[in-house]
Amino acid sequence: MLDTEVYSCNSCNGWMRKDFVSSDLKCPLCGDETTVEMRELPQIL
Ligand SMILES: [Zn+2]
């Protein structure tokens, strides 16, 4: 596991890794604002 910076949605359970964010940092599911946070995620190989 790896501490990973992610952007999580303020409205739904949607989130995205920092490496794969959309250009406007909006939630990919509902389009709301996201907040950056740290999560432990499996490392991408
Ligand atoms: Zn959302």
Q: Which residues make up the environment of ion ligand 1, defined by Cβ < 5 Å?
A: 9, 11-12, 14, 27, 29-30, 32
Per-residue pLDDT at 44: 79
Q: How far is the CA of 23 from the centre of ligand 1 (A)?
A: 15
pLDDT tens, residue order, the chain (45 aa) = 999 999 999 999 999 999 989 889 999 999 999 999 999 999 877
| pTM for the whole structure | 0.82
Question: How many domains does the chain fold into?
Answer: 1
Q: How far is the CA of 15 from the centre of ligand 1 (A)?
A: 7
Where in the sequence is the domain holding 17, given as residue range(s)? 2-41
Nearest CA to 5 out of 40, 34, 30, 33 is that of: 40
Q: Are 34 and 5 within 8 A, CB to CB?
A: no
Q: Which residues is 6 bridged to in the sheet?
A: 17, 37
Q: How far is the CA of 6 from the centre of ligand 1 (A)?
A: 13
Residue 9 to residue 30: CA distance in whole angstroms: 8
